[in-house]
Structure 1
Amino acid sequence: MKTSWYREPWAWFIFFLPCTAVVAGITTYFIANTNPDTLVIGDYYKKGKAINLEVGKVKMAQKLGMRFALQLKDNELIIKPTGIEKSFPLLNVTFFHPTLEDRDFYLALTQDGNGYFRHHFEQAVTGKWKLTISPFEGHWKIQDTISLPQSDFIDLIPNPIKAQ
């Protein structure tokens, strides 16, 4: 007497392997399309050309002698110009998170009576950040990677190697 194929365990084992691959492929497809990687840039050529312009802004900051010191202590950010006699009506400060784009934020700061730029955060800002400082006109910029909080002042100087 011959048994039916569906009663054989080896038949189910052989069907199970391709079915598992199909389910895993469909799952991977849905995960990839519902959670896109925000670090991937669609038009990398234009971004590369823009980086060259940014390096020129960093070199301009070097030429002008721009230097700042930064401190973040007790949720208060203090940025003070060091060695610069010029005053700025507005300073653009941008914080870029290394992996999570939705945590990036921007501040437009004005000087207080001491010539310092201050901002008080409602929540603690911690971790590693890429910081960009530029004037209102945007003709120079300083860019650095920092870890926050910082109880001591750290120097921010234009460095074209870090801008790339």
Structure 2
Amino acid sequence: MSKLQTQENGAAVMQDAQPVNWLKLPWLLLWLLPALAVVAGLTTVYIAVRYGDSMVKDDYYKQGLAYNVQQQADRQAADLHLRAMLVPVNSQWLLTLSAEKMPVLPEVLLLQLSHPTDKSVDQQITFTRQSGQQYAATVSALVETNWYVQLHPEDDSWRLRGRWQSGAAAQLQPEIL
């Protein structure tokens, strides 16, 4: 690097300037690092407030206490050898319930669709029995994503769970942990 300097007689002389070594400027580091930490902290606060975590349920304690009841519903579905096939055809959805050890099938089944990250788009769909093991429901448009699915009767005596990718068929079965 060069620097232009003027001498007493008015002549301009070029002198070589030394590059600045930033590590030799402690005052810059003393101001720059805390300033960056403040900016990073404010950015983190903004993200936390703007995009809150909706995956945590408000009644998590009650849900923790109900864990055994939910596991009992899964065991009941396994004991009855329940399986279900969900087939969406545009707005008309068909559900086939395979129940080897269930003498009387329920007239109404409830299907809960849970979005992985946005609780505001969760839906509950009511299926009514058409004939035999066939159920049907009309569904409005959904967000294209990978959904968590839970099927159960109105009395919650059993449940089937699974994952469903929008537009595809899904197999639901008991999940015993």
- 1:89/1:18 CA distance change after superposition, 3 Å: same
Q: The residue matched to 1:98 in structure 2 has which SS?
A: coil
Separation in 1, partners of 2:94, 2:112: 14
Q: The residue matched to 2:68 in structure 1 has which SS?
A: helix
Separation in 1, partners of 2:79, 2:61: 28
One-letter amino acid matched to 1:18: P
One-letter amino acid matched to 2:110: N
Matched, 1:22 2:51: no
Separation in 2, partners of 1:26, 1:155: 45
Larger Rg: 2
Aligned match of 2:118 in 85, 96, 100?
Answer: 100
Matched, 1:121 2:139: yes
Separation in 1, partners of 2:36, 2:175: 52
Partner of 2:161: 143
Pairing 1:151-162 to 2, within 5 Å after superposition: 154-161=170-177
Separation in 2, partners of 1:155, 1:31: 37
> Please, what is the CA RMSD of the aligned residues?
2.8
- TM-superposed CA distance for 1:31, in Å, is 2.5
Query: Matched residue pairs, number?
Result: 151
Unaligned runs of 5+ in 2: 1-21
Q: The residue matched to 2:161 in structure 1 has which SS?
A: strand
Separation in 2, partners of 1:73, 1:81: 17
Unaligned runs of 5+ in 1: 1-8
| C-alpha contact (below 8 Å) 1:94/1:133 kept by paired residues | yes
Higher helix residue share: 1
Pairing 1:51-90 to 2, within 5 Å after superposition: 51-83=67-99, 85-90=103-108
Separation in 1, partners of 2:149, 2:29: 56
Separation in 1, partners of 2:140, 2:73: 32
More contact order relative to length (CA 8 Å, sep ≥ 6): 1
Q: The residue matched to 2:33 in structure 1 has which SS?
A: helix
Q: The residue matched to 1:16 in structure 2 has which SS?
A: helix
